[in-house]
């Protein structure tokens, strides 16, 4: 049989995508990362075809003995990293983790207080997303534009007067930690629970470059497992409160998940081990790189947010690009040069500016994982300058970007495992994939 054209087409799409995004671009999307080849090998396993509803040892399916073990190992490792007694890995995404916890903590008609959208709250925290879908009322904390953060004093007063069921901190667009301790004290004084959404900063937390929310007042941490934490796409929930955990486990299944995408589990365990051994070095480099990139962009005249606060303490850098045509245009121009960023609302933007917001959000975690250091951030800043200030043809810069990227094709901060040794121990790992083939 001749190969059907659509088969060739879809396979070519995959190959083209892999080549472009994995080997020819500088990827600066703040919510993405890559697994190591070892974690990818663990991911590409037969578990991806199986079902395992329920908890390890108490499944509604047969044939899960190895899946159960994988889930138990992954839970143990993730719990150790987060210093959490109880871990729930079945949410298949950060949004599902939030849905689960919000459902447990409140009923339709109840009220929740969330971080201000200007301080980076995720859409799932809002009336436009999961919180709204659950019928929980969203009330935003006041924003302090000077500190690009929650206005602590006014937020405390709000919490004391509203007495919400829970308060949410953590976000998707933030340079500096939210004031967790102060907010948690206020929340607890009115019997409200504190949810910290660590989706963006989980890798920084386990790498000890961001405060662990469980040690600073959060009752429960929700997260995704694929942003600064470089694991498979998925969700996680951490807590030290046993009663809350039991309720969470009863809610995630059957309310929000049936099967939980089982091949995530061994890949997550591999990534957790990488973070256990290399996470501090990685997180440290991420934070240094972000700061250096911000400084270098600033020195070229870009309008980098947070200068008076040292630019950033996370993996993110935020640019106000209104004077360069706005976020949409700038992100498009950079993409033509193989530099991938996303346009983003900045604190002063009205919500309806979503189509052309004034900012772009940059994250350095993935390029750090591929081995970039501070001096490489200076090279990236120079590419920005060429495209956006000198107005060099982006297709010319693209060739330089591809050439530069060639030095950074291997994932670092992982184990150097000898495949022959694994085979000699009867652990054949069939596909360590080389996407370049």
What residues from 107 to 136 belong to the interface with ligand PLP (CB under 6 A)? 122, 124
Distance set, CA 437 to CA 18, 23, 38, 109, 228 (Å): 10, 12, 17, 55, 27
Coil, strand, or helix at residue 359? strand
* 235/108 Cα distance (integer angstroms): 23
From residue 14, alpha-carbon distances to 17, 48, 59, 105, 238 in Å are 5, 19, 35, 42, 35
235 binds ligand PLP (CB under 6 A): yes
- Minimum CB separation from ligand PLP for residue 401, in Å? 26
Residues in the chain: 437
Q: Specify the stretch interacting with ligand PLP by CB under 6 A; choose among 94-102, 260-268, 340-348, 349-357.
A: 94-102
Strand 193-197, strand 54-55: pairing: unpaired
3-state per-residue secondary structure call for 252-263: HHHHHCCCCCCC
The interface mask with ligand PLP, positions 15-44, x = CB under 6 A, is: ----------------x-------------
Is 344 near ligand PLP (CB under 6 A)?
no
* Residue from 79, 164, 170, 279 binding ligand PLP (CB under 6 A): 170
Question: Measured from the CB atom, is 106 or 199 closer to ligand PLP?
Answer: 199
| Interacting residues of 14 by C-beta distance below 8 A, sequence separation 6+ | none
Examine residue 366 and tell whether it contacts ligand PLP (CB under 6 A).
Answer: no
> Does 347 participate in binding ligand PLP (rule CB under 6 A)?
no
- Which stretch, 70-78, 168-176, 399-407, 423-431, contacts ligand PLP (CB under 6 A)? 168-176
Tokens of 49: 């075809």
Interacting span for ligand PLP (CB under 6 A) from 42-50, 165-173, 178-186, 316-324:
165-173
Among candidate residues 425, 434, 417, 372, the one with its CA nearest the CA of residue 28: 372
Q: How far is the CB of 430 from ligand PLP (least distance, A)?
A: 28
Minimum distance from residue 237 beta carbon to ligand PLP (Å): 12
Tell me the window of 197-205, 209-217, 291-299, 420-428 that interacts with ligand PLP (CB under 6 A).
197-205
> Which pairs with CB-CB distance under 8 Å and at least 24 residues apart come from 151-154?
151/116, 152/179, 152/182, 152/183
Considering only the stretches 90-98, 175-183, 264-272, 315-323, report the one whose residues sit in contact with ligand PLP under the rule CB under 6 A: 90-98
By CB under 6 A, is residue 316 in contact with ligand PLP? no
Does position 240 interact with ligand PLP (CB under 6 A)? The reply is: no
Q: Which two tokens stand for residue 137?
A: 């009322």
Residue among 40, 88, 197, 366 that touches ligand PLP (CB under 6 A): 197
Residue 215 to residues 208, 326, 404, Cα–Cα distance (Å):
12, 40, 41
Q: Using alpha carbons only, give the angle 259, 263, 266 rounded to the nearest 5 degrees.
A: 125
Show the site string, 44-83: x = touches ligand PLP by CB under 6 A, - = not: ----------------------------------------
Which part of the chain contacts ligand PLP (CB under 6 A), choosing from 38-46, 153-161, 192-200, 332-340?
192-200
Kindly tell me which of 79 and 171 has the beta carbon lying closer to ligand PLP. Answer: 171
Task: Kindly report the three-state secondary structure assignment for every residue of 176-188.
Answer: CCCCHHHHHHHHH
Six-digit token pair at 163?
């007495």
Nearest to 410 by CA among 369, 381, 378: 369
Residues 6+ apart with CB under 8 A from 260: 52, 89, 90, 91, 92, 253
Q: What is the smallest separation between the CB atom of 227 and ligand PLP, expressed in angstroms?
A: 6
Residue with nearest beta carbon to ligand PLP: 94
- Told to check if 365 binds ligand PLP by CB under 6 A, we report no
Tell me whether residue 361 or residue 398 sits nearer to ligand PLP (CB atom). 361
Residue 221 makes contact with ligand PLP by CB under 6 A: no
Binding footprint of ligand PLP on the chain (CB under 6 A) = 31, 93-95, 98, 122, 124, 170-172, 197, 199-200, 224, 235
């Amino acid at each position: 049989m001749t190969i059907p054209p659509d088969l060739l087409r879809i396979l070519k799409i995959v190959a083209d995508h892999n080549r472009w995004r994995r080997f020819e671009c500088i990827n600066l999307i703040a919510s993405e990362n890559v697994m190591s080849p070892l974690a990818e090998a663990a991911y590409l396993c037969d578990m991806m075809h199986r079902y395992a509803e329920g908890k390890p040892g108490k499944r509604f399916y047969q044939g899960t003995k190895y899946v159960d073990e994988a889930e138990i190992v992954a839970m143990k490792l993730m719990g150790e990293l987060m210093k959490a007694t109880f871990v729930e890995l079945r949410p298949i995404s950060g949004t599902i983790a939030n849905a689960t916890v919000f459902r447990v903590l409140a009923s339709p008609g109840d009220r929740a207080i969330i971080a201000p959208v200007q301080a980076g709250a995720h859409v799932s925290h809002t009336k436009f997303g999961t919180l709204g879908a659950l019928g929980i009322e969203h009330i935003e904390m006041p924003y302090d534009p000077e500190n690009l953060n929650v206005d602590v004093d006014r937020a405390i007063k709000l919490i004391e007067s509203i007495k919400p069921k829970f308060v949410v901190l953590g976000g998707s667009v933030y340079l500096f930690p939210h004031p967790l301790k102060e907010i948690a004290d206020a929340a607890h004084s009115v019997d409200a629970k504190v949810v910290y959404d660590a989706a963006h900063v989980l890798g920084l937390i386990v790498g000890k470059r961001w405060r662990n929310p469980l040690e600073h007042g959060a009752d429960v941490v929700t997260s995704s497992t694929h942003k600064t934490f470089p694991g498979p796409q998925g969700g996680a929930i951490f807590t030290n409160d046993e009663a809350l955990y039991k309720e969470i486990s009863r809610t995630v299944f059957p309310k929000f998940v049936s099967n939980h995408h089982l091949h995530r589990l061994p890949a997550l365990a591999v990534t957790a081990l990488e973070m256990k051994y290399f996470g501090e070095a990685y997180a440290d480099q991420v934070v240094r790189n972000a700061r250096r990139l911000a400084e270098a962009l600033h020195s070229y005249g870009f309008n980098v947010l947070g200068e008076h606060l040292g630019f950033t303490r996370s993996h993110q850098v935020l640019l106000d690009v209104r004077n360069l045509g706005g976020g949409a245009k700038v992100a498009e121009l950079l993409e033509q040069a193989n530099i991938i960023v996303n346009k983003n609302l900045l604190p002063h933007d009205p919500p309806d500016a979503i189509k052309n917001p004034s900012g772009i959000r940059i994250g350095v975690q993935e390029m750090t994982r591929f081995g970039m250091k501070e001096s490489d951030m200076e090279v990236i800043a120079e590419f920005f300058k060429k495209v956006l200030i000198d107005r060099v043809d982006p297709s010319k810069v693209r060739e330089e970007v591809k050439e530069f990227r060639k030095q950074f094709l291997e994932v670092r901060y992982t184990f150097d495992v000898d495949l022959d040794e694994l085979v000699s121990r009867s652990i054949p790992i069939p596909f360590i994939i080389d996407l370049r083939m």
